[in-house]
Amino acid sequence: EAGVVQSPRYKIIEKKQPVAFWCNPISGHNTLYWYLQNLGQGPELLIRYENEEAVDDSQLPKDRFSAERLKGVDSTLKIQPAELGDSAVYLCASSSGTSGGTPDTQYFGPGTRLTVL
């Protein structure tokens, strides 16, 4: 079974440029997460989707970040314009949903390492 796929793996851009990250979750997983991981820190949730609906985007900086999951499968996270402080690893994860009210295991992709110069 293929895992969570993310591309690109690495991206270097200059500040004020736009950038987009793509994620394809495990087949059949309805829940998709985007996390931000700063150097030396744990992942922080940016947005969570249930199918195509963003059910938790409270931590997404909406002035410059946007995300979409149009058909409830793959997803794109965009930053426009990028700032120096956006340099980090962007992780995507997916899960199959709840099991009797308890959270299901999240499966993580390898991440996209963004460097903003």
Which residues contact another protein (rule: CB under 8 A)? 3-4, 31, 40-45, 48, 56, 91, 93, 98, 101-103, 105-111
Q: Please state, in angstroms and rounded to a whole number, the distance separating the CA atoms of residues 66 and 80.
A: 8
Q: How far is the CB of 69 from another protein (least distance, A)?
A: 15
In a 10 Å sphere around its CB, with 0-12 CB exposed, 13-18 middle and 19+ buried, how is residue 21 labelled? buried
In the complex with another protein, which residue's Cβ is closer, 45 or 81?
45
In a 10 Å sphere around its CB, with 0-12 CB exposed, 13-18 middle and 19+ buried, how is residue 4 labelled? buried
Q: How far is the CB of 64 from another protein (least distance, A)?
A: 23
- β-sheet bridge partners, residue 101: none
In the complex with another protein, which residue's Cβ is closer, 17 or 98?
98
Q: Please state, in angstroms and rounded to a whole number, the distance separating the CA atoms of residues 5 and 107.
A: 11
Q: Please state, in angstroms and rounded to a whole number, the distance separating the CA atoms of residues 60 and 66.
A: 8
In the complex with another protein, which residue's Cβ is closer, 17 or 38?
38
Q: How far is the CB of 16 from another protein (least distance, A)?
A: 28
Q: How far is the CB of 91 from another protein (least distance, A)?
A: 6
In the complex with another protein, which residue's Cβ is closer, 48 or 69?
48
